[in-house]
Amino acid sequence: MTKPYLQISNVGIQFGTNVVLQNVSLDIQRGEFLAIIGHSGCGKSTLLNIVAGLLQATTGGVLLENREVNEPGPDRAVVFQNHSLLPWLTVEENVRLAVDKVFGKTKSRAERRDWVRHNLDLVNMSHALVRRPNEISGGMKQRVGIARALAMEPKVLLMDEPFGALDALTRAQLQDTVMGLQQQLNNTVLMITHDVDEAVLLSDRIVMMTNGPAATIGEVLTVPLARPRDRLALAADPTYVGCRAAVLKFLYERHRHPAAA
Ligand SMILES: Nc1ncnc2c1ncn2[C@@H]1O[C@H](COP(=O)(O)OP(=O)(O)OP(=O)(O)O)[C@@H](O)[C@H]1O
């Protein structure tokens, strides 16, 4: 068995007397796409923030390529639900800012410019280089956020409900883009979602969290669907339907949210 690329070991965290996570352990291999799913408030964002280095675990810890994670770093890029673009900069400048920070010393000006454009091209945003965030749609902003994260060449891409604020059609387009990128770049991805179909469509494994307080991993489901995946073809695929049913069962039968009980 290869050594895990990203290792979450016995992670627990409490805020005051509120124990949010307890004994969370997960080994992630390089190039894996993992979705984390669980009811609202169970601690998904908290877990992602610990991996991002934005929060410190109370117990346990995280290793990335055998190095302890204890602060944010460009090797772990985060894409949030609500884009975090700077409104006074253009699309190109927003990505450029991150690229300059990471590659300011190792790439020339021209190389950095090409790298910014290449990453915007990957998410089909080359046509909007000089637009500002308030001049583009929500889906386009998320595309720019993804380009910015990819342009940092992170070891791990962390996505916190990246499509949560988008309408269903835009969401489906973005999911297809992310699947295409995954096919091309083979990133290691940890993505939080509330959407069962999204989790099955995009992931290699789905991590299902129990309800809080003291939430932990209840089950991990492997999604044995070949790639590339086609959402229309999969809708009637017995393996897809079975995975979907397993996640729904976990969420709505075995770990129903207390508020819905
Ligand atoms: N900095 C903090 N200080 C105190 N409590 C916090 C802090 N961050 C998170 N919490 C608490 O931790 C719990 C889990 O929150 P978290 O946002 O991680 O859940 P979630 O599963 O991502 O929820 P959602 O799906 O609704 O986004 C909540 O009870 C929240 O109030």
In a domain, 247, yes or no: no
Mutate to test the pocket of ligand 1, among 11, 20, 195 (most ligand atoms within 8 A of CB): 20
Mutate to test the pocket of ligand 1, among 11, 13, 14, 15 (most ligand atoms within 8 A of CB): 15
Q: Exposed, middle or buried by CB within 10 Å (0-12, 13-18, 19+), for 154? A: buried
Q: Total structural domains in the chain?
A: 1
* Unique residue bearing structure tokens 């204890």: 70
What are φ and ψ of residue 24, in 5° steps?
-90, 115
In a domain, 78, yes or no: no
User: What value does the mean pLDDT take over residues 21-44?
Assistant: 96
Find the residues whose C-beta lies inside 6 A of ligand 1: 15, 20, 38, 40-46
In a domain, 124, yes or no: yes
Mutate to test the pocket of ligand 1, among 40, 46, 198 (most ligand atoms within 8 A of CB): 46
In a domain, 125, yes or no: yes
Whether the predicted pLDDT of 81 surpasses 90: no
Which tens digit of pLDDT belongs to each residue from 4-22? 999 999 999 999 999 999 9
In a domain, 115, yes or no: yes
In a domain, 132, yes or no: yes
In a domain, 116, yes or no: yes
Ligand 1 centroid–CA 45 distance in Å is 7
Domain hosting 130: range is 85-153
Ligand 1 centroid–CA 219 distance in Å is 20
Q: For the beta carbon of residue 199, count every other beta carbon within 10 angstroms.
A: 25
pTM (whole model) above 0.90: yes
In a domain, 49, yes or no: no
What pLDDT is attached to residue 78? 93
The ipTM assigned to this model is: 0.97
C-alpha of 156 from chain center: 9
